[in-house]
Structure 1
Amino acid sequence: MTLRQWWRDLAMGVRFAFAGGREGWVRALLTAVGVGLGVALLLLTTALPSALAVRHERGDARADITYNEPTLKKADNTLLIANASTTFRDTDIRGREVQPEGARAPLPPGVGKFPAVGEMVTSPALKSLLESDDGKLLRERLPDRIVGTIGESGLIGSHELAFYRGADGLAAQGVDGARLTRIDRFGNPNPTESQSDPVLVLLVLVVFVVLLMPVAVFITAAVRFGGERRDRRLAALRLVGADGHSTRRIAAGEALAGAVLGLVLGTVFFLIGRHIAGSIEVFGQSVFPSYLNPSPLLALLVAVAVPAAAVLVTLLALRGVVIEPLGVVRTARPARRRLWWRLLVPLAGLAMLYPMIGQGRDGGDFNQYLVTGGVILLLVGVTALLPWIVEAVVARLGAGGLSWQLAVRRLQLSSGTAARMVNGIAVAVAGAIALQMLFAGTDSDYTKSTGHDVSRAQMQVSVPEGKTLAAAAKELAETKGVRRAYAFNEGFVNDGPGDNAGWARVTVADCASLREVAKLPSCRDGDVFTSHVAPGTDEDSASRQNADDESTVAARPGKKLWFETSEDTEKQSPVVWTVPKTVKQAQSIADPTGYRRVGILITPGAFPAKAAAGVRGEIYLRLDDSLPDAREYVRNTAARINPLEEPMTWVSVKRNNEYSTIRTGLFVGAACVLALIGASLLVSQLEQLRERKKLLSALVAFGTRRRTLSLSVLWQTAIPITLGLLLASVVGLTLGAVLMRMTDTTVRVDWPSVLSMTGVAAGVVLVVTLLSLPPLLRLMRPDGLRTE
């Protein structure tokens, strides 16, 4: 067999695909659409590393407040920059106040000119929000006049909310390198490589494999669209003298044509999706179209692999089909599928993963090749086992209504086609179940309790120097949506000068606020208490020890204590305070932050006014949760009190950022794969109906009710999808258990996630079936028997 003959037969197949009449190009178009959808998602996946890298580079390029010790002195090329970030309805807004100190001060990336005082430049998304009705509350917080927009080079996403506003007098607020700093250039001066967490790397690997496997399955299924009609056309070639090998290569040429056309359509779909990506936000993440540039090497791999897979799949599919001059031997009873080799595929996957069981985080990095290969083989095992299971089950189905019998008989004749249609969704569900189990098992490692009691308070506001605690508390208490404000001045006292002096925590608050941190015998303004953890309480000993360590001074009546009024030891002018003889004992309880305060509790009437510089004000707020924008009203008030201090919104748990990013990436990818699943299933269903057009028309002509035929189509979809979801659940649970053992996590099944994954898959199939009913009704007409 010469290469020239191979090329000639493949070229003939390509000509048949585009010049073989309506049947040829319709099949080529269906194949191209199915392949194109998969190629578009593959190109998007190959572009993701580039998008993430560009986002990281943009973030590093605009880095300014790096929490380094301030070392720069004022110069012609320096810039004062302060953190003015805020939050609006759970969306972070990156904000900076800028004050150039010379003509050569560095401009922020994407900004052409410094805004003056009372002016600001914003991202396009923030500008749109501020100009909309939804941004009315935010506009109160950011009243500056918008004089420009931040360019793409200064943003990490098209929907990012960011601004720079002009400021004056920032130096007087104290350059500390954290809240306010002085820089002479933008960018991270000390980039560091973070140590990768083996479990997080494992999660990333599994996420990519799970998201890409359904795409590969759909592409291989798409190149087999219209197989029965194609085989009948190939019989005509046998009649004019072509041998069996030539007809197979011609068939491969037809598939090649559809795959190449699919590459073209996939590129078009990708470019359209790339453009749309710049105008949408998914799970709080957005990108610019320019970020989505596939790696040339990976794009070339897709361009070569897809046509090669089309040819290979077609040749393998025709091995069991005998094409003769007078027809195709497909109606005879096929040989039973063998089970043994199908079981070897998932077993081989388990064997690859077995060496890493029990390794956990402390066992070093997981072998990426073994992980990838093992997960792929387990998921491929679904596609290998499902045809055997469908064939074995439908062979035993029989009695039932007319629609049931029509569906069962059709499945018995072409169980392989039915299995191919649901292979992709079964693989997706199996992978999703495994990932959900892995995420559920490792969630506790990356989700920590904050200790905050969100039933007692939901926000915390820090009071800046120069603002009295009472005035700030009154302003916040009168804010719309605030039910109660608990105000505390917090600081420390020493029992003598020098670094070796003993110290104690001091809390200054009114009686109502002090009752939130301690059990008081009685309280009125002017009282002083010493707070301690009562012996014999049911709290754990570690917590009691931590509380006791917070005080090394016994506040006895008549004892002299020193308030430190400045962090600079050279400028300190300690205020001496004597513990009154009327000091009372109080029992510490957990405050709203979950912390037990021990030390000295002072009401405002007993607190020396000269020591006010040595304490810092904190206000805890209880909100009216029935008011949706209560937090926004608080943020607006807090911005008037201190523009450079973002109020803290309390949560009961806090999740690791990297872990959250991976989980968000999974949700974004799953949304894309689900869209692909739905579109590909619909194309596959329409192709199946098109092939049975004459059969459906004949049944209607003989008096079969359309309702019966519609129900039969529903049963033909429901039976294999039910079997596929059951198999996917078993494989997904197995893979999930293995992954959890690899991470040294206790194996437990997250049944709500399992049921939700299968439910979503079943819902997608139901929607596709409903969408295919209108074309089905059009096909069920007697004139469908007309032929040329």
Structure 2
Amino acid sequence: MSSAVVRQWYRDLAMGVRFTFTGGREGWVRAVLTAVGVGLGVALLLLTAAIPNALATRGAREEARQDMGIGYLENNPTSKPTDRSLLVADTDTEYQQQEIRGRLLEPEGAKAPTPPGLDKFPAPGEMVVSPALADLLKSDSGKLLRERLPYDTVGTIGEAGLIGSGELAYYAGADGLAERLQEPVAYRIDRFGATEQPPAEEMDPVLLLLTLVVFVVLLMPVAVFIATAVRFGGERRDRRLAALRLVGSDGRMTRRIAAGEALAGAVLGLVFGTAFFLAGREVAGSVEVLGVSVFPSYLNPSPGLALLVALAVPAAAVLVTLFALRGVVIEPLGVVRTAKPARRRLWWRLLPPLGGLALLYPMVGQGSENGEFNEYMVTGGVVLLLFGITALLPWVVEAFVARLGSGAVSWQLAVRRLQLSSGSAARMVNGIAVAVAGAIALQMLFAGVESRFTKSTGQDTTRAQMELSLPDDLQVSVAGKEMKRAKGAETTAVLSTAEVSATAKDPEEWGSVTVGDCAALRELARISSCREGDVFILEHPRDPEATKLATAGRTLYFDASFSGEKPGAELAWKLPGGLPKVSERADSLRPGTAGLLATPSALPAKAQTETVFASSVYVRTDPKVPDALDEVRNAAVAIDPLIRTWEWQTTRQADEFADIRTGLLVGATAVLVLIGASLLVSQLEQLRERRKLLSALVAFGTRRRTLGLSVLWQTAIPIALGLALASTVGLTLGAVLLKMTDMPVAVDWPSVLSMTGIGAGIVVLVTALSMPPLVRLMRPEGLRTE
């Protein structure tokens, strides 16, 4: 390109920019509408560009406060206190389905490390809490939690010690932890932060595919909205450009001037978008979405991505404007677009979706066994399929409305308007159609591969709802009695397990013994007759070796010693003469248990006080008690703050899969907000362009109700066609993605209907919000002109 051509482009674009800001009220209104539409998209793009930094910062904060990381040589019960050592106890808990991170701290020396976010250690009986936890404790809904945390709040955890503004966390002072060192409950450290990183695991190819598709699906509607926003007020702009032909400009120069106007709106949109992003970033610090929160400082886009957005948006505005004007003839006496437009051609509109299918087809059947999916082919294929909606929808709308006939006056007004400007109607719907199609495909993909990343826990939530893990030094009998009296506990079962050996020294054969009263043992096995002092053999077909040591009259040993250890801790246990055999319950609290079952009095007297048992309490909550789970947790903490509580679940999802799904839902929430806001701006822009027409119709006696219904029809018809096309493309894309993961194709119809319903609901809401401006525009004053 020669320097003269460059100068000509520069002059024409600069003239378009001047027209934008010196063209009077009309130019300013159009520029502001364009800037708002582009700005909303830019804000979401900047937010997306900030996500990598936010995730990295959250990860760094989590790692910096790590107190059980790899590489802590002092992190074991046999370590010795030093002037740099700190005793830590893990007291994580849950409250009303919210996770709470808790730690008890006891410094052993003057140089003990303080956790990130703390200036000093809280004294015993005091605690330092996160801002979100402080608010919860002060609220009426935090009554039960205040009972569980009987400490005086003396400070707030700083931002450096939290991974999000909504995180619930506390550090409390303690004493006497040195006598209770036992992993993973209480341990000794001399620093925070992991000193060694575990080896990075390769990401499952299916999860990588999910991540790629999520990003494409969330960003495509944003790109469509920006492309639509730069065309706001296109018809009025083209009529103004006709005046330029009268003063000597040719067609190419006129198009470049129009591109300059779009460029000005896009640059102004960058300013608006930056302001929206900065305002949204501050709001993000006080908002929690699906359990995920961040601090405003986390949301800093990387300079490279921010520069890419700053360059791509204006360039896209210029290209979109030039592309849109390719079929418009701007003559000195008017714009040759007011006549009936030529019928749109279908053949080239089929090329993008067919090209997308061609890119994805080679990876069909690959699954996760044949290496990673080609990320460029995946991205390109999904983009082309979704872009195909924006190419096909104008043709679909035009072909459909051309066949619509007579009806009520409101219907005829709407149909005629759509027949004359089906392109404008399709552009308004493009974004939501792309979003719905992508959401349907993702829902199908998530539903199809969910079973791959969801495992059964073997826990029957109809038998118990909570499990309490007891510290080794806690008297099991005391904990069992207290928990039976706990509010919210309908029934409890206390079970303890230890290992026994065939010899007192250097044993080679081991077995297990599970101890509990008769009621607790019946939760594991079918026992017809049981009295205190009985011992049973529980056989398991998949583990025949487990009962090898269970022979009547045989002597077994607890706490066997090995060569080099101090002998004398062994405790002999002679089995009774009769050992009835029992079978496992199909709904056992501990599936797979095998070996010996014993009642407490059947063991040697010293076994219950000198032998270390792994003990758990299984709780069936009382459905009549409100907040029964939290009542049980409160009772457990009252017995011993080191008791860990676990709510039972029938299934558990892989963390990576759950994180991707959470990220999708958070991103989809942001995109839905953008959809609603952009649709509203687009609707207002179209009403503004038709202001004189609406005022003229009212002046000639047309009822406002009729005009309102016509606007509703003008929105409803393209939306219905767009959602139908989106459902077709979404189902096709979802089926292809499932075939790529080597999973059977199944349509998740509830998700399809819900996504379509959400899209339709947004349009109804936007239409309702546009009614008040419509009423104002239908006044006779709208006939005034400048």
Smaller-chain TM-score bracket: over 0.9
* Aligned-partner Cα distance in 2 for 1:6–1:583: 97
| Residue 37 of structure 2 corresponds to residue 34 of structure 1 | yes
SS in 2 for 1:398: coil
Contact 1:426 1:727 in 2 (8 A): yes
Distance 1:125-1:528 versus aligned 2 partners, 3 A rule: same
Deviation of residue 592 (structure 1)?
4.3
Match of 2:66 in 1: 63
Matching residue within 640, 652, 661 for 2:650: 652
- Counterpart in the other structure of 1:540: none
Give the counterpart of 2:385 among 378, 389, 397. Answer: 378
Q: Partner of 1:202 in structure 2?
A: 209
Write the distance in 1 (CA, Å) between the matches of 2:566 and 2:364. Answer: 59
1:215 counterpart = 2:222: yes
- What is the deviation of 1:601? 2.1
Counterpart amino acid of 2:43?
A
- Aligned amino acid, residue 593 of structure 1: L
Q: Is the 8 A contact 1:565 1:611 kept in 2?
A: no
Structure 1 range deviating more: 740-749 or 297-306: 740-749
The aligned residue for residue 638 of structure 1 is 636
Cα distance in 2 between the residues matched to 1:549 and 1:740: 43
Cα offset, 1:782, TM superposition: 2.7
Aligned pairs (5 A) from 1:179-198: 179-192=185-198, 193-198=200-205
Specify the SS of the correspondent of 2:500: strand
531, 545, 554: which one aligns with 2:542: 545
CA 1:83/1:571 → structure 2, altered by over 3 Å: closer, same or farther?
A: farther
One-letter identity of the residue aligned with 2:550: A
TM-score by length of 2: 0.95
Partner of 1:538: none
- Cα distance in 1 for partners of 2:574, 2:587 equals 26
SS at match of 1:483: strand
- What residue number does 2:782 align with? 784
Check the 8 A contact 1:453/1:594 in 2, yes or no. Answer: no
Q: CA deviation at 1:633?
A: 1.2
Give me the whole-angstrom Cα distance separating, in 1, the residues matched to 2:311 and 2:602. Answer: 81
Between the aligned partners of 1:565 and 1:46, the Cα distance in structure 2 is 59
Partner of 1:260: 267
Q: Which amino acid aligns with 2:34?
A: T
SS in 1 for 2:291: coil
C-alpha deviation, 1:569, in angstroms: 5.7
The CA deviation string for residues 201-255 of structure 1, in whole angstroms up to 9 with x for no partner, is: 1111111111000000000000000111111111122223322222211111111
Once residues 123 and 116 of structure 1 are traced to their aligned partners in structure 2, the CA distance between those partners, rounded to angstroms, is 17
Q: CA shift at 1:550, angstroms?
A: 3.2
1:498 to partner: Cα distance: 4.5
Corresponding position: 1:432 with 2:428: no
> Which of 557, 561, 569 is residue 562 of structure 1 equivalent to?
557
* 2:501/2:507 contact within 8 Å kept: no
Range moving further from structure 2, 204-213 or 776-785: 776-785
Residue 17 (structure 1) aligns with: 20
Aligned to 1:366: 373
Contact 1:70–1:181, Cα closer than 8 Å, also in 2: no
The CA deviation string for residues 58-100 of structure 1, in whole angstroms up to 9 with x for no partner, is 1111111126674454222222222122111121111112222
Secondary structure at the aligned position of 1:2 is classed as helix
Letter in 2 for 1:616: A
Look up the equivalent residue of 1:263 and give its one-letter code: L
Distance 1:572 1:675, change over 3 A: farther
C-alpha contact 2:471 2:642 (8 A) present in aligned 1: no
Matching residue of 1:79: 86
Show the counterpart of 1:539: none
Aligned ranges 1:295-310 → 2 under 5 Å? 295-310=302-317
Q: Which moved further from structure 2: 187-196 or 422-431?
A: 187-196
| Alignment partner of 1:47 out of 50, 54, 68 | 50
Give how far 1:194 is off.
2.9
Among 238, 245, 256, the residue aligned to 1:249 = 256
1:578 matched to which residue of 2?
A: 574
Q: Does 1:617 align with 2:624?
A: no
Q: Determine which of 666, 677, 680 is the counterpart of 2:678.
A: 680
TM-score by length of 1: 0.95
**Contact kept in structure 2, 1:589 and 1:596, CA below 8 Å:** no
Contact kept in structure 1, 2:239 and 2:334, CA below 8 Å: yes
What's the secondary structure of 1:597's corresponding residue? Answer: coil
Matched-pair contact (CA < 8 Å) for 1:213–1:427: yes
The code of the aligned residue for 2:464 comes to A
Contact 2:537 2:547 in 1 (8 A): no
One-letter amino acid of the structure 1 residue matched with residue 556 of structure 2: L
In 1: Cα distance, 2:704 partner to 2:178 partner: 81
User: How far 1:499 sits from its partner (Å)?
Assistant: 4.9
**1:661 to 2:659 alignment:** yes
Give the aligned partner of residue 157 of structure 2.
150
**How far apart, in 2, do the equivalents of 1:466 and 1:76 lie?**
26
1:523 aligns with 2:497: no
2: CA distance between counterparts of 1:376 and 1:499? 66
- CA shift at 1:552, angstroms? 2.3
Contact 1:70 1:175 in 2 (8 A): no
- Secondary structure at the aligned position of 1:181 is classed as strand
Distance, in Å, in 2 between the alignment partners of 1:282 and 1:592 is: 38
Q: Which of the numbers 100, 114, 118 marks the counterpart of 1:111?
A: 118
Q: Where has structure 1 moved over 6 Å in runs of 4 or more?
A: 565-568
| Aligned-partner Cα distance in 1 for 2:615–2:279 | 54
SS of match in other structure, 1:454: coil
The whole-number CA distance in structure 2 between the counterparts of 1:199 and 1:188 is 29
Contact 2:51 2:299 in 1 (8 A): yes
1:719 alignment counterpart: 717
- What SS does the aligned partner of 1:550 have? helix
Structure 2 CA distance for aligned equivalents of residues 691 and 444 of structure 1: 52
Q: CA deviation at 1:508?
A: 2.0
C-alpha displacement of 1:54? 0.7
1:170 counterpart letter in structure 2? L
Task: State which drifts further: 15-24 or 752-761.
Answer: 15-24
3-state SS, counterpart of residue 194 of structure 1: coil
Residue correspondence of structure 1 range 400-549 to structure 2 within 5 A: 400-533=407-540, 544-546=541-543, 548-549=544-545
* More off after superposition, 71-80 vs 683-692: 71-80
Closer, same or farther in 2 for the Cα pair 1:102/1:605, shift >3 Å? closer
SS, match of residue 267 in structure 2: helix
Counterparts of 1:52 and 1:501, CA distance in 2? 49
Distance in 2 between the 1:379 and 1:50 partners?
Answer: 28
Q: Does 1:331 align with 2:327?
A: no
Determine which of 171, 176, 180 is the counterpart of 2:178.
Answer: 171
Secondary structure of 1:279 counterpart: coil
User: In the aligned structure 1, how far is the partner of 2:239 from the partner of 2:537?
Assistant: 95
1:285 alignment partner in structure 2? 292
Q: Following TM superposition, by how much is the alpha carbon of 1:602 offset from its aligned partner in structure 2, in angstroms? A: 2.0
What per-residue deviation string (whole Å, max 9, x for no partner) do you get for residues 696-755 of structure 1? 112222222222211111111111111111111111111111111221212111111111
Amino acid at match of 2:196: N
Rate the CA distance shift 1:522–1:633 in 2: closer, same or farther, 3 A. Answer: same
> Could you report, residue by residue, the CA deviation over 1:538-586 in whole angstroms, capped at 9, with x for unpaired residues?
xxxxxx314x343322332x22222338999646623222222343332
The verdict on how the C-alpha distance between 1:394 and 1:401 changes in structure 2, with shifts beyond 3 A counting, is: same
SS, match of residue 545 in structure 1: coil
CA contact 1:65–1:180 (8 Å) conserved in 2: no
SS of the residue corresponding to residue 479 of structure 1 reads coil
Measured in 2, the distance between the counterparts of 1:578 and 1:195 equals 51
**1:504 aligns to what SS in structure 2?**
strand
- Note if contact 2:67-2:189 (Cα within 8 Å) is conserved in structure 1: yes
> Are residue 608 (structure 1) and residue 608 (structure 2) matched?
no
CA distance in 2, matches of 1:51, 1:437: 28
Structure 2 unaligned segments of length 5 or more: list them: none
Matched-pair contact (CA < 8 Å) for 1:458–1:649: yes
Give the CA deviation at 1:38: 0.3
AA aligned to 2:704 is: R
Does the Cα contact within 8 Å between 2:442 and 2:734 map onto a contact in 1? yes
> Which string of whole-angstrom CA distances, capped at 9 and with x for unpartnered residues, describes residues 25-51 of structure 1?
101110000000000000000000010
**Residue type of the alignment partner of 1:673:** V
In structure 2, relative to structure 1, the CA distance for the partners of 1:262 and 1:559 (3 Å cut) is: same
Q: What is the match of residue 541 of structure 1?
A: none
Secondary structure in 2 matching 1:3: helix
Letter aligned with residue 704 of structure 1: T
Once the two structures are TM-superposed, the CA of residue 426 in structure 1 deviates from its matched residue by 0.6
- What SS does structure 2 have at the residue aligned with 1:719? helix
SS at match of 2:212: helix
Quote the RMSD (CA, aligned, Å).
1.9
Long gaps (5+) in structure 1: 534-543
Secondary structure class of the residue paired with 2:546: coil
Contact 2:557/2:571, CA 8 A, preserved across alignment:
yes
